[in-house]
Amino acid sequence: MGDLCVVVGATGSFGRAVTERLVTRGLRVLAVGRHEDDLAALAAEAAGVIPCVADIADDSAIGTISAALDGPVRMAVFAAGLPVAGSVETVSPSDLARGADIKLGGLLRLVRAVDARLAPGSRIVMFAGTLGFEPKASSAGPGAINAGVFNLMRQLGDVYGPRGVTTHTLSPGPADTPRVHALVERAAAERGITVEEQWASYAAGTSLGRLPTVAEIAWAVTLLLDPEADVLHGGVLSLDAGGHRGIH
């Protein structure tokens, strides 16, 4: 029986690719999401996937996830989506609060659920995003909430490092996912340009000239399975094809 990982948001764009890679490496994945049918479909496609229906925005997720664990947790990954769009002028304040409950509250719920099952070498892996440290007026929610994620992960690093449990914040730029497709279509309509022109402007925001792929993002997560990845403890991995301009 393979070591156990937990992936919150396992049926999402990044979460699915991460889950598929982990099971390919012989690990088992407790796949967390709210929709039973989607989780069952994922489990039917990939041996080693164990469905776990839970809403990470609700405290009951702590008990639901912890009750489903049957051994040490090698890696706990938070990859749930953030359904908050709009600028500071248009975003719904309630949506902003709900988004914070999903990602900030949800991160702590995941960590509390797995805490007793973490051992030296276990990984806590969290998806943030470049907007958290390079704010854009058009994306108030991902900006503000992911800024909080960076801070919270540093705090968790201080707490878990002495236990030999490492923390890793992933900072993707926009990737080729359905969520970004929807954003591109909306932005193109707002700017009165074609979808192709809007994609080109996203790609031009990277120095590689293209957006990261989902497979590349998932690869970065499996990299953290290597024992040498201990050295990355507490850090942020930029997964943005050169979109991030700041030096830090």
Ligand X SMILES: NC(=O)c1ccc[n+]([C@@H]2O[C@H](COP(=O)([O-])OP(=O)(O)OC[C@H]3O[C@@H](n4cnc5c(N)ncnc54)[C@H](OP(=O)(O)O)[C@@H]3O)[C@@H](O)[C@H]2O)c1
Catalog residues that contact ligand X under the rule CB under 6 A: 8-15, 32-35, 38, 55-57, 79-82, 102-103, 127, 129, 142, 172, 174-175, 177, 179-180
Nearer to ligand X, 4 or 79 (CB): 79
194: exposed, middle or buried (Cβ count in 10 Å: 0-12, 13-18, 19+): exposed
Which two tokens mark 1?
């029986």
- Which sign does the torsion angle of CA 183, 188, 189, 195 carry? negative
Given a contact cutoff of 8 angstroms between Cβ atoms, the answer to whether 2 and 27 are in contact is: yes
Q: Whole-number minimum distance, CB 72 to ligand X, in Å?
A: 23
Q: Whole-number minimum distance, CB 162 to ligand X, in Å?
A: 27
Q: Whole-number minimum distance, CB 5 to ligand X, in Å?
A: 15
Nearer to ligand X, 12 or 48 (CB): 12
Nearer to ligand X, 14 or 160 (CB): 14
Query: What is the residue whose two structure tokens read 């991995």?
Result: 237
Select from 151, 130, 155 the least CA-distant residue to 238: 130
Query: What is the residue whose two structure tokens read 């990737």?
Result: 175
Q: Whole-number minimum distance, CB 175 to ligand X, in Å?
A: 4
Q: Whole-number minimum distance, CB 178 to ligand X, in Å?
A: 7
DSSP 105: I
Amino acid letter, 246:
G
Query: What is the residue whose two structure tokens read 């730029």?
Result: 173
How far apart are alpha carbons 61 and 13 in whole angstroms? 21
Nearer to ligand X, 166 or 238 (CB): 238
How far apart are alpha carbons 236 and 241 in whole angstroms? 15
Nearer to ligand X, 41 or 225 (CB): 41
Q: Whole-number minimum distance, CB 76 to ligand X, in Å?
A: 13
Residue 172 — φ and ψ, nearest 5°? -75, 150
Nearer to ligand X, 4 or 84 (CB): 84
